[in-house]
A and B are shown apart, each in its own frame.
Chain A
């Protein structure tokens, strides 16, 4: 759970770049670890493999941009580091209180998974809200799905659902890679001016 907090915070605070994929991979490992209490070993292994595939595909797609921001990066929203830190603190408090509110009391979800998933969803909302950069949005979406999937694995621990959600992870990463590659190859900077 601590790893989830660290990786979620790092992904929200740092500017996304190819090295962020290592953090994303650690986040996938910690999510899979938390899912161990609800899923069979095969399911956890499938989640891990999907996570690694996602990170590798995203890394291969974005390594060409390096540390250069894509047009319409989050500077447009003036989301500097201090703003992000304050926003992260707020969403962390909100997520912990949501996790403690027994929102999913009908289902037997462990406290660690509940808090971890709530934080992942909250940090993903922060990522999605902080910029229009497709890479940041993509990481936000992947984090959102990881959080939702963690809770849902307690509700419906079936292999079919793991396979379907793995397809969603891979579909998102392919779509994001595609958007980034189209922007790099055919994006005219003039048309991205807000």
Chain B
């Protein structure tokens, strides 16, 4: 039996179970977490193409699966990437019932994970663009819900991802069939433009971020963070595989310069937009863009260390964004009719602290999980690039100041701020998230084995 088939089969089974149990939120969230976690363990630890024994039964799982003439391969390159996605799912999906997310979140979330996993497995890998488009379609079903019926952001996302799909499909074909080299400058420019356009959309680089603040305004913040973490990770993994596969791309310094400049512009714009926000949800959306900008700066360095830091940042952001969105979901819970954020820190102290600590981590403040990655970026990679280093420092200070400002608003003393009662489990989730972020600041090496796993699969990019 092939590993790919097992992953798809079990993703479908767990998704179906979550769908059946959708009215029992705790059971549904547990099934989603156990399902995603068990698939992650399977992907990361079970040997493929080797015979192994379970009791007296010998089993051999093949890494390749052919369907409709296309190969879905569980190669060493994609195993840590798929494992990461399912682990991110196992971390983010269980809180669905705590934040009272739409009941279809867990089944559709699992299907989105399966689709993105397929995008990583498919060969030739340019077809990944089609699977990412399918994942974006799945996202529409949980971004637009009965509780959040507005759909402008979701429609924009769908439109942009469709453009990205064709842009990357055509780029892949031009690279494969037309044979781009330095001797074909016109074609090279065309390919670079198409590729940049496609990846800018997939990674929500401005001006293709327009769906994001709109969705933040319209949708459940926790669901939006899940979608963004998964889709942006898919786009990021797709980008590093593109860079790993085509020598012509790796040799173009202009491409890395372009990524670095895109990262600098994204970071500066996002910090500026964050500062002008009066809505916590939109602040979250722009903070997310700041984080993305720093990741792009790391990739744009064109250095191996920069790629490693970008990978570790992508790992840490899952936890930081999860904690931030968890806190925000409580603060913006419409059932509690919370419209005024002033003094909210006294009504919901733990949720406010989770939101602020999550934001601090995105900012890369010392003693939070985001700091080691940014510090390494500044000291190891960007020591010769003052503009990029200055941008990273600007983002850290800018978001740090914003955290202080929002802390002052949330904990502003007013009249009658009675704490809103919260049961033990939501408190446990919030406290656990905060502690995890602080622990990752002290033990950043926790993420290193995964980064090394990814690096060992991408042999051209990580020499």
Contacts and interface: CB of A to CB of B under 8 A. Distances in A.
Interface of A: 72, 106-107, 128, 132, 134, 137, 140-141, 144-145, 148, 152, 155-156, 158-161, 163-165, 167-168, 171-172, 174-175, 178-179, 182-183, 185-188, 191-192
Contact of B146 (A72, A168, A186, A191): A186
Contact of A106 (B145, B151, B187): B187
Nearest to A168: B133
A69 B360 CA distance: 45
Contacts of B174: 106
Nearest to A173: B137
Interface string B163-189: 101100110011001100000000100
A134 B149 CA distance: 12
- Which of under 10, 10 to 19, 20 to 34, or 35 or more describes the interface residues of B? 35 or more
Contact of A182 (B133, B134, B144): B144
B329 interface: no
Interface in B145-170: 145-146, 149-152, 154-155, 158-159, 162-163, 165-166, 169-170
Given A106-B187, A152-B170, A179-B155, A187 B137 contact: no
Contacts of A191: 149-150
Nearest to A188: B149
Contacts of B67: 160
A182 B158 contact: no
B156 to A, nearest CB: 9
Nearest to A192: B150
Nearest to B180: A106
A134 B155 contact: yes
A183 B151 contact: yes
B176 to A, nearest CB: 9
B436 interface: no
Contacts of A137: 155, 158-159
Nearest to B179: A106
Contacts of B30: none
Across the A-B interface, give the 6 residue pairs with the lowest CB-CB distance, nearest first: A171-B137, A106-B178, A148-B166, A160-B68, A175-B140, A160-B70
Contacts of B145: 182
